[in-house]
Chains A and B, each alone.
Chain A
Amino acid sequence: MKTDKVQSSSEGSFTSNGAPRVFTVEHLNTLIRNLRDQGYAVIGPVVQDAAIVYDEISSSEDLPIGWIDTQSNASYRLTKRAAKTLFNFTVGPQSWKKYLHKPSVRILEAEKNGNEFAVNDAQPPAKKQAFLGVRACELHAIAIQDRVLLGGPYVDPIYAELRTNTLIVAVNCEKAGGTCFCASMGTGPRAEHGYDLALTEIRESDHHYFLIETGSALGATVLAGLPAEVASESDIQAANRVIATATHQMGRKVDMSEMKEILYRNTENPRWQDIASRCMSCANCTLVCPTCFCTTIEDTTDLRGTRAERWRKWDSCFTMEFSYIHGGSIRTSPGTRYRQWLTHKFGSWGDQFGSAGCVGCGRCITWCPVGIDVTEELKAIRDSELVEAGSIKSKE
């Protein structure tokens, strides 16, 4: 049976369908149940090992009810409050690429028959999955991976299969995390496109309900099965206030003006050495990044040499093998690896894929074990030019 096609946001076909609606908090469970009844594995935020991660859920009871996160450089803590909030937290260590661009995939197996190999590169068919709680930055990250892995002449069939079978229920952020900077990247906190449905959790004077916006025909079909009423003007205002709070809370920012040119001019900036003294090249930043897409290929054989497998695994530009070419690695020092990563994310990514490679989710700041902050490093490099320009001026 052919599965329902989900329109990819890269096709630019998402438009707001009709007026926003509202439903009570209890009906979130109806939405989850309906999706499950329609054959979707519903994946949402859950508390696991003192963090909010993504996993399959069966009801709204599985959500992080009352949990709030506090994030800063190299620090993430959860606390539980009495208020029964469902989405009053920001993004955790995992991103949706766990389910779209998986950490480890067997891409083929080969069996030896005499002097020949029978190669099987068929993938198991993807099951329908519904993401619940995708934030604005993550919608942008998925759109970026769509451009990288589906755009152009070489389409990743494994990603395409998973992506086609994915339904997205976004949630607007009601607060900014301690390391968020989506507002300055133009990627949030409001979910604007790339979703099938988008929810805003509203808690005002004892009312706890959701405002729902529809982003696709599929989303409209799903919503049709729910007891949702047309939102009033005051509901829409309330939702706007929720999102405005998140915008105003955001403490970090990146000034993207001329960023590519600045990075290109500063390949020999001493700041790279300063970063290298702090960077462990452990690769955490790249693996938590929702847009980083690099993989490595590992071949294995059995002891008899009759069976081989080829695996694709998440890789990182922070490993030595990543830049290994004939004769050795070309980026042997951690400073050059960090420069490569940052320059790609905020500079050359634009030439390659038409946008920045960063969505301002702040994961790389929180989950760097030593708390290196990309916003601070970019500002330091930008400011070093001002200092230079200033000193030249004062000499005149």
Chain B
Amino acid sequence: MRSVAKPKLAVWKFASCDGCQLSLLDCEDELLQIVGAIDIANFVEASRNVMKGPYDVSLVEGSITTPHDAERIHKVRRQSKLLITIGACATAGGIQALRNYTDVKQYASYVYSNPEFLETLNKSTPIADHVFVDFELRGCPISKAQLVETVSAFLNGRKPVTPPYSVCMECKRRGTVCVMVAHGTPCMGPVTQAGCGAICPSYHRGCYGCFGPKETPNTGALADQWKAMGITNDGIVRSFRGFNAYADAFRKESEAHEE
């Protein structure tokens, strides 16, 4: 018998690829510590053993795309003291938010022989559009380090360190040569939030914007520079409509370049 109950953690899935939940399973070294520090009460990807709520912390992956999920998220919120959304789907609507710019019914008719059995919403929306969210972890997928940081910050009663500044900060600290200036490669880094460790530029690729808009993003200035580099409006629209297509700043910039 333990004298002090361990905090109960639940992991929930909505419309998503499971990649962010896998980041939690990927914490091999840290997972044993996590298991020691908290009760994993509801995490069907890891264990069939489900403990009843309420839960101290809920990690929510995925976006809201069906009427059923729009209901279910309220049940999750009611059972959770602290609700943390993880990943681009949960924080911005995800790649599936590309549907927000098209006619979903038309798409469904291409894919399904009997689309009338399909119950789906016109838009893929982030969790925060539906319920109060205590903390958001960005990324597609989330960074393992930021996840461990957030859980340990919660367990130790402190604020997690997940800075909202640009990816450029991480590039420069690790000494990566700027791909935009030195190679002429369009890069989303100057308007994208740090957290991944600036992986893509270190492999000579432009940032894809997986972590969504940084604080005070000036997407217009970036788009102007890309135009000067010869990128077409179509190219600009595609770049801002990635994994965070429905994040406010990226959505507005993509709409400004639609022809």
Residue numbers of A with Cβ under 8 A of B are: 48-51, 53, 74-77, 93-94, 98, 103-104, 276-284, 287-288, 298-305, 313-314, 316, 318-321, 332-334, 366-367, 369-371
Q: Which of B152, B165, B173 contacts A104 (CB 8 A)?
A: B173
Give Cα distance in the complex from A199 to B216, angstroms.
45
Evaluate contact between A287 and B172: CB separation under 8 angstroms: yes
Evaluate contact between A369 and B181: CB separation under 8 angstroms: yes
Give Cα distance in the complex from A76 to B36, angstroms.
51
Known contacts A280-B222, A301-B152, A370-B221; decide if A320 and B215 are in contact (CB<8 Å): yes
Closest approach, in angstroms, between the C-beta of A260 and any C-beta of chain B?
Answer: 28
Give Cα distance in the complex from A194 to B204, angstroms.
36
B161 at the interface (CB under 8 A from A): yes
In the complex, what residues of A have CB within 8 A of residue B33's CB?
302-304
Closest approach, in angstroms, between the C-beta of B210 and any C-beta of chain A?
Answer: 17
Closest approach, in angstroms, between the C-beta of B126 and any C-beta of chain A?
Answer: 21
22 CB contacts below 8 A, A to B, read A48-B177, A53-B177, A74-B181, A76-B181, A94-B175, A103-B172, A103-B173, A104-B173, A277-B218, A280-B217, A281-B216, A281-B218, A282-B166, A284-B190, A301-B156, A319-B215, A320-B165, A321-B165, A367-B178, A369-B180, A369-B190, A371-B225
Evaluate contact between B173 and A304: CB separation under 8 angstroms: no
Known contacts A48-B177, A51-B177; decide if A303 and B164 are in contact (CB<8 Å): no
Give Cα distance in the complex from A332 to B172, angstroms.
23
In the complex, what residues of B have CB within 8 A of residue A333's CB?
216
Q: Which of B30, B163, B172 contacts A319 (CB 8 A)?
A: B163
Closest approach, in angstroms, between the C-beta of B37 and any C-beta of chain A?
Answer: 5
Evaluate contact between A287 and B221: CB separation under 8 angstroms: no
In the complex, what residues of A have CB within 8 A of residue B148's CB?
303
Give Cα distance in the complex from A94 to B174, angstroms.
11
Give Cα distance in the complex from A61 to B36, angstroms.
54
Known contacts A50-B183, A304-B33, A334-B216; decide if A287 and B165 are in contact (CB<8 Å): no
Evaluate contact between B36 and A319: CB separation under 8 angstroms: no
Give Cα distance in the complex from A282 to B181, angstroms.
14
Evaluate contact between A283 and B178: CB separation under 8 angstroms: no
- Which A residue sits closest to B218, measured CB to CB? A280
Q: Which of A280, A300, A334, A366 contacts B181 (CB 8 A)?
A: A366
Evaluate contact between A287 and B169: CB separation under 8 angstroms: yes
Evaluate contact between A280 and B166: CB separation under 8 angstroms: yes
- Which A residue sits closest to B219, measured CB to CB? A280
Q: Which of A49, A279, A284 contacts B182 (CB 8 A)?
A: A49
Q: How large is the interface on B (under 10, 10 to 19, 20 to 34, 35 or more residues)?
A: 35 or more
Give Cα distance in the complex from A305 to B204, angstroms.
38
In the complex, what residues of A have CB within 8 A of residue B36's CB?
303-304
Evaluate contact between B165 and A316: CB separation under 8 angstroms: yes
B153 at the interface (CB under 8 A from A): yes
Secondary structure class of chain B's binding surface, majority of residues: helix
Q: Which of B156, B172, B183, B221 contacts A314 (CB 8 A)?
A: B172
B151 at the interface (CB under 8 A from A): yes
In the complex, what residues of B have CB within 8 A of residue A94's CB?
175
Give Cα distance in the complex from A370 to B36, angstroms.
49
Give Cα distance in the complex from A257 to B33, angstroms.
61
Q: Which of B161, B163, B190 contacts A300 (CB 8 A)?
A: B161
Evaluate contact between B216 and A76: CB separation under 8 angstroms: no
B175-201, CB < 8 A from A: 175-178, 180-184, 187, 189-191
Evaluate contact between A282 and B173: CB separation under 8 angstroms: no
Evaluate contact between A302 and B224: CB separation under 8 angstroms: no
In the complex, what residues of A have CB within 8 A of residue B165's CB?
283, 316, 318-321
In the complex, what residues of A have CB within 8 A of residue B158's CB?
299, 301
Give Cα distance in the complex from A261 to B149, angstroms.
46
Leading 5 A-B pairs by shortest Cβ distance: A287-B172, A282-B190, A103-B173, A303-B33, A49-B177
Closest approach, in angstroms, between the C-beta of B177 and any C-beta of chain A?
Answer: 4
In the complex, what residues of A have CB within 8 A of residue B175's CB?
53, 94, 98, 103
Evaluate contact between B178 and A93: CB separation under 8 angstroms: yes
Evaluate contact between A287 and B168: CB separation under 8 angstroms: yes
- Which A residue sits closest to B192, measured CB to CB? A282
Give Cα distance in the complex from A302 to B176, angstroms.
28
Closest approach, in angstroms, between the C-beta of B26 and any C-beta of chain A?
Answer: 15
B155 at the interface (CB under 8 A from A): yes
Give Cα distance in the complex from A321 to B215, angstroms.
10
Q: Which of A74, A93, A283 contacts B166 (CB 8 A)?
A: A283
B117-165, CB < 8 A from A: 148-149, 151-153, 155-156, 158, 161, 163-165
In the complex, what residues of B have CB within 8 A of residue A77's CB?
182
B34 at the interface (CB under 8 A from A): yes
Known contacts A74-B225, A282-B166, A314-B172; decide if A51 and B182 are in contact (CB<8 Å): yes
Give Cα distance in the complex from A287 to B166, angstroms.
12
Q: Which of B30, B163, B215, B225 contacts A370 (CB 8 A)?
A: B225
In the complex, what residues of A have CB within 8 A of residue B225's CB?
74, 369-371
Taking A50-B177, A74-B180, A278-B218 as known contacts, 12 extra A-B pairs with beta carbons closer than 8 A to each other, sorted by chain A number, are A49-B176, A51-B182, A75-B184, A282-B166, A283-B168, A303-B34, A303-B151, A304-B37, A316-B169, A319-B169, A369-B178, A369-B225
Give Cα distance in the complex from A305 to B169, angstroms.
28
In the complex, what residues of B have CB within 8 A of residue A283's CB?
165-166, 168-169, 172
Q: Which of B161, B177, B217 contacts A299 (CB 8 A)?
A: B161
